[in-house]
A and B are shown apart, each in its own frame.
Chain A
Amino acid sequence: MQLKISNLSKTYPNGVQALKNINLTINNGLFGLLGPNGAGKSSLMRTIATLQEADSGSVFLDDLNVLEKKDEVRQILGYLPQEFGVYPNVSAEELLNHLAVLKGATEKKSRQELVHALLNQTNLFDARKKKLGGYSGGMKQRFGIAQALIGNPKIIIVDEPTAGLDPTERNRFLNLLSEISESVIVILSTHIVEDVKELCSQMAIINKGEVLFEGHPMQALDMVKGKIWKKFMSKAASKEHHENHKVISTKFNTGQIEMHVWSDEMLNGGFERTEPQLEDVYFSVINGMMK
């Protein structure tokens, strides 16, 4: 299967242009959509998930026109929104059952098996009788993925699923996704570079509604190879460096500021060339070093 997004644009009534002429091609496997908050990730994902209209452009899933044949898309869609709530007085099992019915699992016995399997998969089986109102953030997130998997979807869209998860949960969650993604398209949006680095076979970086990079993570690293320089310094010194260099990122590391800068040429003055991380790619792209 292949999802092909062409020239997709969207401007909200308040004038914010959320998507600017987006072009992406996504194949089976885990696709990472990387971008800062407000980059347009969620807008893009909601559009694919049939929840939002586009102003122009097209989205095709093989031959299926996603923007027009919403009902057919929904039949093969699993969607985990960035934020969602639950009926507070309903248990996980009941709500999963509820959503399974809505998705068309009207045969009681097979539905029950499905619900139990999903609860097991997401490690919620023991807590299945508890009201969702009392779930922790991580448990709720796991519930979210459980519901997205109902009915063997061909395309799964998960919007910032790892936010609020602790490291163990996050790992487990990503493993589950990568397992599933062997035969289906999984689009994962995140602003955490690590999520993408480990699992995704394809990725894109978007910012301010535009695709700034599309390709394999390794490809991305190749692009910046040899151009990332690192230096430790005091806080006072960092200001000056900001003026003189193309700073990619700064962060505290063991009490000092670790600064990464972009340079095609050799840098002196305490800078040393460093092996690029995906994070460097991300910040370079976001900050407009790579055009």
Chain B
Amino acid sequence: MFKEIFLFELRYRLKRPATYAYFIILFMMMFLASYSEHVNIGGASGLVNKNAPYSINMAVCIMMIFGTMICSAIMGVPVFRDFEHNFHEIMFTTPVRKWQYLAGRFFGSYVIAIFVFSGLLWGNMLGCVFPGVNTEHIGAFMPLAYLQPFLSYILPNLFMLGILFFAMGSLFRNQLAIYVQGVILFTLYLIILNNQRDIESNRVLSMLDPFGFSATTNVTRYWTVSEKNNMVVPLTGLLFYNRLLWLSISLVFGWVFFRSFKFSSAANVLRRKKTVLSKEEIKISAVPIPQITLQRNIASRLKQWWYLLRFDFKSVVKAIPFIAITLCGVFMLLSMSTNLGSMYGTATYPVTYMILDLLTGNFMLFLIIIITFYSGELIWKEIGVRIAPITDAVALPDSIFITAKLGAMLLVELFLLCILVLTGIVMQMINGFYEFEIVIYIKSLLLNTFPYLVLITLLTFFIHSMVNNKFLGHTIVIIFWLGNIILAANDIDHNLLWYGNSPTQSYSAMNGFGHFVKPVLFFDFYWLMLGIILFMVGLLMSKRGSELAFVSRFKKMRLLWKAGHGKLVIPIALTLFIVSGGFIYYNTNVLNIYRAPDTWDEITANYEKKYKKLKFTPQPRIASVNVNLDLFPEERKCFIKAEYIIKNKNTTSIDSLILNLPSDKKFSKLVIAGGFKSVLSDVEQGFYIYKLNKPLLPGDSLAMKFELSYGEKGFPNKGGSTSIVYNGTFINNGLLPSLGYNEGSEMTDDDDRKDAGLPKKLYRMNPIQDTLQWRNTYLGSDADWIRYEATVSTSADQIAISPGYLQKEWKQGNRRYFHYKMDSPIWNFYSFLSARYEVLRDKYEDVNIEIYYQKGHEYDLKNMVNGIKKTLKYCNANFSKYQHKQVRIIEFPRYASFAQSFPNTIPYSEGIGFIMDVDKESDIDMAFYVTSHEVGHQWWGHQVCGANVQGSTMMVESMAQYTALMVMEKEYGSSHMEKFLKYEMDRYLRGRAGETKRELPIVLNENQQYIHYQKGSLVFYALKDYIGETALNRACSSFLKDYAFKDAPYPVSYDFLRYIRKETPDSLQSVVTDLFENITLFNNKTAVADAKKKGNQYTVTLTLECAKVNSDSVGNEKNLIPNDWIDVGVYTADKSGKDSLIYLEKKHFNKASQQFTINVAAKPSRAGIDPLHKLIDRDAEDNTRKIENL
């Protein structure tokens, strides 16, 4: 019998179109992911092939998670179906045994589910060989790459989820319950993923993840390109145990279900049984039916409308799935409140805008699901329960019915937003933060979220009004949204074209909602008008009566239209739609320039194509800058009037000037001493060539005066520039002209370059041998050290800042003027900031410290001041004297989240460092760290800067990192350092795993952040450990002495390395090579750790393994025989079980496995090799081992 039931299930399913629909969905997703350059699921990127084992593995794993709903739809229904069709009574009275019935149904569906999900593999396979695919990203066909994910995920996941859904579906026997359980599981899953940010809890959570995704990422997180392309994710270790654990759990669950399933018709019902009323005596009642007048007036219509609205509202918010999905979302949000805005494990204060980002970012999906689903359900409600024949025959216009439904949905949306606000407040309270800004919650949600939800509702109503089948309606809505999102992200990104789109915007504590409000309101209005038109059409097509066929309803609509229905609203809405659309178009495309992403690519490519030939044309260099900048924050405008002194430092005379401005900019005035003629004026590129009337002779200088104006006219398609804003302007020298062909403007992405017909870029920075580029720093090729002076004016209530010292401040009219002048030469690298600032002043020795901050952001100021003082102290003592008399930190809005060091001026985003909630005992003090890094740049960057070639960022970024590390270590102790370096190690290893081109040794790095920041920290900390802080700092200070404030040629990384090598003993020279010139990785491991007690002493015997490899740029490894001094350490545990080091010494390793015997005085608890993780090691967990035998 099992066989018959099994085969019946198979045959039944194979006849259902849904089976193939699911298959095709999964197939197409993977097909597109492998075929298209624009779609990416999982791992393929850069050099990782689309059919690399890793890519297929991750994509399958991810699709399995999103496929939860499909799995639920397949596996949840087999038993439920029998009950739904009342077939169970027949089934249960046949001689079939319980196991045969359940197993037959289950395995039949399971096989179908496997078939459906195998679509993932076929999709990838076909996509990779389909004609027209970019074969550069396709590797050799590897059967194992497909087999492994099939075995690791498809089979076990479907089995586990299958049992769960099968059991739940059989017990609950409710269509919605079957879908809702998918949502619930998915949410639980998101919660697990969200909490995985903390690297320490990785392993435990990896086991808890039933999909095996976390376990997989845990195993593969440090995989290099080569490993991703060639290695199959092994079904061993963590992943294997994870699979085993969940298979066991599901088997137990399945067994419990099997035992508790009653093979009879009445039992098994978990829900409350319907009470069927017994028939009562028929008695004739004498109550006469009262005469009543039915009302038709407006007041009565309003009453009916309001009544219906409440009725529909209640029907939604009381529905179990609504409550379940909402609770899921809220629960997920609350689960996030423990680790808000974490940086290096340090949390930020949960200020309202952060919470809002979190709320809308994570809850949006839930909102959209709820709204699209229930908007559809409301439209179909009467038809669904088959009461429509009664309600349709009631003398109430369609408009009342449907606008009441619309009103109910809007009320539901407001209700959900209220829940969201409450959730946010609870999240803030959980974190002990009580500065609730309800107004910001309300404004932000009403401005950003609500209009979008309304538009979704209107569209969903329209779609459901047009179709004749609810499921078709739901499907079209989903397809529409996916299409809208995917297409809007692609070629044509004009917000006027994609339903519901409006410019993105963000709230800043400094600038509030800023200038974003107006354009968003216009776009919302525009779309609302279209929404109303759609809604009206839907209304005319409404499903009243028994004839639902589209044709009949369309006929009816024409009659209604002829009868004058909608003749008021539709033309008005249409007019307003066109007028507002025209107004927006005028703003985005006439007042501003709109270009599609493709066009931008073309322009970028053309710059190189047209002008690269001018790369070596000799140009003068800027020697002095004097700027007058008048800023009008309220109008978001500024006028620049400036003078450059440019000097010919070449050996030949120069007859023409090449000037770059931002795209579409022109000089409003230009005066060049001696006169000039315009030769080329390419406004689109902002590229100009002027022939000098009198050539500039070698060694000569000339003055060049120009005027420029910047300002926002109307509003652009995207949110628009965030540099000049009402409060918190931050602009830099990029607004002023630069000289000569600018290589930095070239297109960088190789795929884009290929599309544009440009050759691949082999180097992301010039090769280090390119001695011509040693004449430039990587900050710019048109200047060396310059003299700088600026007069900045702004509104009376704002303070304007630029590098230099304040010479004079005055008021003129309602404007405030500041005159700044720098007393020593600086790079051609300056900025202007203006806002309504509070100022904190302090002093360290003879250096003035000033922090310009937004009122309310006082949390971390002390740490910043402390960071400045400690860094000044450390650098003055160890490197060289600070070149300025002042350090200023200036807050700017969180439109960007970085801090940047300009001469004596450090703009610092409000998003990082100003709202950090630092627990000094355990947390890394982010404000202190970032401050220290930026102040360090006053030396590393502003005293010396590397040449415009590979490796130069090492002398700037890595050294700022080293400075911050040393200052932090002095301030917070080495245990904080360990924690910090652990993050750096993790980020470095992940960074190299995500490399899209090639990893280089630090000495040759091409501005790669994971190398110059993260590896920089690790390398310099290890070097300091080997040669000592004093020796390393001696190298630094001698390097500075020889290179600081010197003109070209500028130093390259090997120059700096020379100073390091000079301070390194011969025995450690190979360490320097490993750290700086190679990509060296260790795999250190403690194989055995034993201890014996001898009197008061303990003898620890260790068998330590040391494997050392060199990696090439894509991660191919070469084994080396170690010849290194590596830490060996022993810990003892205190009463609370906390380990502390009692022994740490460097031992020489020259074999793969070595034994050591160490005597310690206290009872050892743990011991091993490189316990502090100073060497780069992908598996840090096995470095030490617990000593068990004491």
Residue of B275, B280, B295, B391 near A104 (CB, 8 A) is B295
Interface string of B385-397 (1 = CB under 8 A from A): 1110111111111
Interface string of A99-139 (1 = CB under 8 A from B): 10111111100110110111011010111001001111011
Smallest CB gap from B555: residue in A? A53
Kindly state the separation between the CA atoms of A46 and B461 in the bound complex, as whole angstroms. Answer: 26
Chain A residues lying within 8 Å of B285, measured Cβ to Cβ, are 120-121, 123, 125
Interface string of A66-83 (1 = CB under 8 A from B): 000001101101011101
Kindly state the separation between the CA atoms of A221 and B243 in the bound complex, as whole angstroms. Answer: 81
A52 at the interface (CB under 8 A from B): yes
SS class, residues of chain B in contact with chain A: loop
A281 at the interface (CB under 8 A from B): no
Q: Which of A83, A101, A114, A126 has the most CB of B within 10 A?
A: A101
A13 at the interface (CB under 8 A from B): yes
- A–B pairs, 26, beta carbons within 8 Å: A50-B545, A51-B392, A53-B547, A53-B552, A74-B393, A83-B386, A84-B390, A99-B391, A101-B307, A103-B396, A104-B395, A104-B396, A105-B294, A105-B295, A110-B292, A113-B290, A117-B289, A117-B290, A135-B277, A138-B279, A147-B390, A149-B289, A151-B294, A152-B289, A166-B279, A169-B282
Chain B residues lying within 8 Å of A266, measured Cβ to Cβ, are none
- Interface range on chain A (Cβ under 8 Å from partner): 35 or more
Chain A residues lying within 8 Å of B392, measured Cβ to Cβ, are 50-51
Stretch at the interface among B296-304, B366-374, B646-654: B296-304
Q: A126 with B289: in contact, given A50-B393, A103-B394 (CB under 8 Å)?
A: no
Measured between C-beta atoms, what is the minimum distance from B329 to chain A in Å? Answer: 24
Measured between C-beta atoms, what is the minimum distance from A177 to chain B in Å? Answer: 13
* Contact present for A130 and B288 (CB under 8 Å): no
Interface string of B289-322 (1 = CB under 8 A from A): 1111011100110011001100100010010000
Smallest CB gap from B283: residue in A? A123
Smallest CB gap from B299: residue in A? A106
Binding site for A on B (CB under 8 A): 274-277, 279-280, 282-285, 287-292, 294-296, 299-300, 303-304, 307-308, 311, 315, 318, 385-387, 389-397, 544-547, 549, 551-552, 555-556
Chain A residues lying within 8 Å of B549, measured Cβ to Cβ, are 13
Smallest CB gap from A126: residue in B? B280
A38 at the interface (CB under 8 A from B): no
* Contact present for B385 and A88 (CB under 8 Å): yes
Q: Which 10 A-B pairs have the closest CB atoms?
A: A85-B386, A104-B294, A81-B389, A74-B395, A51-B545, A120-B287, A120-B285, A106-B300, A75-B395, A79-B393
Kindly state the separation between the CA atoms of A158 and B294 in the bound complex, as whole angstroms. Answer: 21
Measured between C-beta atoms, what is the minimum distance from A144 to chain B in Å? Answer: 8
Q: A52 with B387: in contact, given A87-B315, A117-B290, A123-B280 (CB under 8 Å)?
A: no
Q: A75 with B296: in contact, given A85-B386, A117-B290 (CB under 8 Å)?
A: yes
- Which residues of A (29-72) have their CB < 8 Å from a CB of B? 46, 49-53, 71-72
Measured between C-beta atoms, what is the minimum distance from B384 to chain A in Å? Answer: 8
Measured between C-beta atoms, what is the minimum distance from A257 to chain B in Å? Answer: 32
Measured between C-beta atoms, what is the minimum distance from A151 to chain B in Å? Answer: 5
* Contact present for A139 and B277 (CB under 8 Å): yes
Measured between C-beta atoms, what is the minimum distance from A22 to chain B in Å? Answer: 17
Q: A123 with B292: in contact, given A51-B545, A101-B307, A139-B277 (CB under 8 Å)?
A: no
* Contact present for A152 and B279 (CB under 8 Å): no
* Contact present for B547 and A49 (CB under 8 Å): no
Measured between C-beta atoms, what is the minimum distance from B321 to chain A in Å? Answer: 14
Chain A residues lying within 8 Å of B303, measured Cβ to Cβ, are 101, 106
Given contacts A99-B390, A104-B300, 12 further A-B contacts (CB under 8 A): A46-B389, A53-B545, A71-B397, A74-B393, A75-B294, A101-B307, A104-B396, A114-B289, A117-B289, A121-B289, A136-B277, A139-B279
Chain A residues lying within 8 Å of B556, measured Cβ to Cβ, are 53
Smallest CB gap from A78: residue in B? B393
* Contact present for A116 and B274 (CB under 8 Å): no
Kindly state the separation between the CA atoms of A121 and B387 in the bound complex, as whole angstroms. Answer: 22
Kindly state the separation between the CA atoms of A80 and B797 in the bound complex, as whole angstroms. Answer: 74
Chain A residues lying within 8 Å of B555, measured Cβ to Cβ, are 53
Residue of A85, A134, A152 near B292 (CB, 8 A) is A152
Chain B residues lying within 8 Å of A105, measured Cβ to Cβ, are 292, 294-295
Kindly state the separation between the CA atoms of A50 and B388 in the bound complex, as whole angstroms. Answer: 13
* Contact present for B387 and A13 (CB under 8 Å): no
Chain A residues lying within 8 Å of B275, measured Cβ to Cβ, are 130, 134
A218 at the interface (CB under 8 A from B): no
Smallest CB gap from B545: residue in A? A51
Q: Which of A86, A88, A133, A151 has the most CB of B within 10 A?
A: A151
Measured between C-beta atoms, what is the minimum distance from B1089 to chain A in Å? Answer: 66
* Contact present for B289 and A46 (CB under 8 Å): no
* Contact present for B395 and A107 (CB under 8 Å): no
Kindly state the separation between the CA atoms of A111 and B307 in the bound complex, as whole angstroms. Answer: 14
Kindly state the separation between the CA atoms of A88 and B315 in the bound complex, as whole angstroms. Answer: 11
Chain A residues lying within 8 Å of B280, measured Cβ to Cβ, are 123, 126-127
* Contact present for B287 and A102 (CB under 8 Å): no
A98 at the interface (CB under 8 A from B): yes
* Contact present for A79 and B295 (CB under 8 Å): no
Chain A residues lying within 8 Å of B284, measured Cβ to Cβ, are 172
Measured between C-beta atoms, what is the minimum distance from B1027 to chain A in Å? Answer: 78
A168 at the interface (CB under 8 A from B): yes
Kindly state the separation between the CA atoms of A172 and B279 in the bound complex, as whole angstroms. Answer: 14
* Contact present for B289 and A134 (CB under 8 Å): no
Kindly state the separation between the CA atoms of A120 and B303 in the bound complex, as whole angstroms. Answer: 26
Chain B residues lying within 8 Å of A127, measured Cβ to Cβ, are 277, 280
Chain A residues lying within 8 Å of B397, measured Cβ to Cβ, are 71
Q: Which of B318, B387, B391, B544 has the most CB of A within 10 A?
A: B387
* Contact present for A118 and B289 (CB under 8 Å): yes
Residue of A80, A107, A152, A166 near B295 (CB, 8 A) is A107
* Contact present for B387 and A86 (CB under 8 Å): yes
Chain A residues lying within 8 Å of B287, measured Cβ to Cβ, are 116-117, 120-121
Measured between C-beta atoms, what is the minimum distance from B404 to chain A in Å? Answer: 10
* Contact present for A136 and B545 (CB under 8 Å): no
Smallest CB gap from A88: residue in B? B385
Chain A residues lying within 8 Å of B290, measured Cβ to Cβ, are 110, 113-114, 117
* Contact present for B292 and A114 (CB under 8 Å): yes
Measured between C-beta atoms, what is the minimum distance from B416 to chain A in Å? Answer: 22
Kindly state the separation between the CA atoms of A81 and B392 in the bound complex, as whole angstroms. Answer: 11
Chain A residues lying within 8 Å of B276, measured Cβ to Cβ, are 134, 136
Measured between C-beta atoms, what is the minimum distance from A199 to chain B in Å? Answer: 17
Kindly state the separation between the CA atoms of A4 and B295 in the bound complex, as whole angstroms. Answer: 28
Q: A130 with B389: in contact, given A104-B300, A114-B290 (CB under 8 Å)?
A: no
Kindly state the separation between the CA atoms of A85 and B388 in the bound complex, as whole angstroms. Answer: 8
Smallest CB gap from A13: residue in B? B549
Chain B residues lying within 8 Å of A134, measured Cβ to Cβ, are 274-277
Measured between C-beta atoms, what is the minimum distance from B287 to chain A in Å? Answer: 4
Smallest CB gap from A83: residue in B? B386
Kindly state the separation between the CA atoms of A117 and B546 in the bound complex, as whole angstroms. Answer: 30
- Which residues of A (158-199) have their CB < 8 Å from a CB of B? 166, 168-169, 172
* Contact present for B291 and A102 (CB under 8 Å): no
Q: A13 with B552: in contact, given A104-B395, A123-B282 (CB under 8 Å)?
A: yes
Chain A residues lying within 8 Å of B296, measured Cβ to Cβ, are 75, 104
* Contact present for A77 and B393 (CB under 8 Å): yes
Residue of B291, B311, B318, B386 near A98 (CB, 8 A) is B311
Chain B residues lying within 8 Å of A126, measured Cβ to Cβ, are 280
* Contact present for B289 and A71 (CB under 8 Å): no
Chain A residues lying within 8 Å of B547, measured Cβ to Cβ, are 51-53
Smallest CB gap from B551: residue in A? A13
Smallest CB gap from B389: residue in A? A81
Chain B residues lying within 8 Å of A102, measured Cβ to Cβ, are 304, 308, 391, 394, 396
Kindly state the separation between the CA atoms of A130 and B288 in the bound complex, as whole angstroms. Answer: 23
Residue of B395, B546, B551 near A103 (CB, 8 A) is B395
Chain A residues lying within 8 Å of B300, measured Cβ to Cβ, are 104, 106
Smallest CB gap from A157: residue in B? B393
Q: A51 with B387: in contact, given A98-B311, A121-B285 (CB under 8 Å)?
A: no
Kindly state the separation between the CA atoms of A79 and B389 in the bound complex, as whole angstroms. Answer: 8
Chain A residues lying within 8 Å of B390, measured Cβ to Cβ, are 79-81, 84, 99, 144, 147
